[in-house]
Structure 1
């Protein structure tokens, strides 16, 4: 509905009606219309982390992150029916609405927390070690920023944008001159 009508022109009543539920039921599940995007966004990040955990242990961390992210994006598109155009609208809209942006950032905060033990297990370190916190934070930020840029640009393949961002983080390109 946000893609069709725009975020501001979609009401809670519209969402509840389209879902076939009463307003009271809607408010049992969500405090606001902004929160309705959280399950979709968090499902994608949760799927990525689960796939990363299950990824071939012989793959390096960067290759495993790329492989698992691409698989999660394919699953979202083919099984969950998440359309690239709709995802772009949600991400672009989140950039312009503080409450929706807070939901997007909250989803990524949770993703980072789930990434830490998975990364720790892959690299043989403790989940509370600084290197693991930094790796989870950097990977999570790379994904979030790459997806936002992909949404704004309106072209390209999301997973390619994410792979490029992860590679830049992994090779230390953050503190070197921008290429």
Structure 2
């Protein structure tokens, strides 16, 4: 299985700046509301010039794309890291537990921001589009990873597997965001109600799917 390409120091710094701006934007959206928050407010709070903000993001809604993308891409990359001898469904479940489980305070905070942003997206088509783009990008990453694991080509079966798995995890995260369970996974009856638990339950519901 090929290794993930190394990221240059310049790209890492750019990614860190993008994520800093994203966290700042999310905090302002939560504190002041999406409509009341301007791109200039985000830039000032993040300690960058407005022109720097617009170099990274064309709109204020798109400034939170890194937060949406982080979790989605982390899950896909966790499939890449899953042991090679695991079946596709087992690798997907392994990845959910790895990527969506809350291991640090910052991870929990990011998930809570994602929950708030998903709730805001109910009244913001622009924000919904950002979330949809992040999910689609994650699906394409997952497809490439599944193709690499299979050592073949992006067949119809692999495309369908990537799409179905991505939707299952997205539904789990959205279901968690719509409720008030903690990111750590407080229980809903006897079943875990955190994002990792709900995503895994959605994947488990697909046991009859003909995984490649």
| Residues 1:139 and 2:184 are matched in the alignment | no
Deviations 1:141-166 (Å, cap 9, x if unpaired)?
11112211111122220101100111
Deviations 1:5-64 (Å, cap 9, x if unpaired)?
222222212211110111111111110111111112112222211221111122222222
In the aligned structure 2, how far is the partner of 1:137 from the partner of 1:167?
15
| Residues 1:148 and 2:174 are matched in the alignment | yes
In the aligned structure 2, how far is the partner of 1:133 from the partner of 1:160?
25
Asked if structure 2 preserves the Cα contact closer than 8 Å seen for 1:116 and 1:127, the reply is no
SS of residue in 2 equivalent to 1:170: coil
Alignment partner, residue 55 of structure 2: 28
Calculate the TM-score normalised by the size of structure 2: 0.73
Alignment partner, residue 93 of structure 2: 66
Structure 1 residue 125, shift from structure 2 partner: 6.0
Change (3 A) 1:26 1:143: same
| Residues 1:8 and 2:8 are matched in the alignment | no
Asked if structure 1 preserves the Cα contact closer than 8 Å seen for 2:76 and 2:142, the reply is yes
Alignment partner, residue 206 of structure 2: 169
Change (3 A) 1:79 1:65: farther
Structure 1 residue 87, shift from structure 2 partner: 1.9
Alignment partner, residue 70 of structure 2: 43
Asked if structure 2 preserves the Cα contact closer than 8 Å seen for 1:51 and 1:72, the reply is yes
Asked if structure 1 preserves the Cα contact closer than 8 Å seen for 2:38 and 2:60, the reply is yes
Structure 1 residue 82, shift from structure 2 partner: 4.7
Structure 1 residue 79, shift from structure 2 partner: 7.1
Alignment partner, residue 5 of structure 2: none
In the aligned structure 1, how far is the partner of 2:105 from the partner of 2:199?
21
SS of residue in 1 equivalent to 2:206: helix
| Residues 1:105 and 2:132 are matched in the alignment | yes
Change (3 A) 1:127 1:106: farther
In the aligned structure 2, how far is the partner of 1:127 from the partner of 1:136?
13
Calculate the TM-score normalised by the size of structure 1: 0.85
Structure 1 residue 73, shift from structure 2 partner: 2.2
Asked if structure 1 preserves the Cα contact closer than 8 Å seen for 2:101 and 2:196, the reply is no
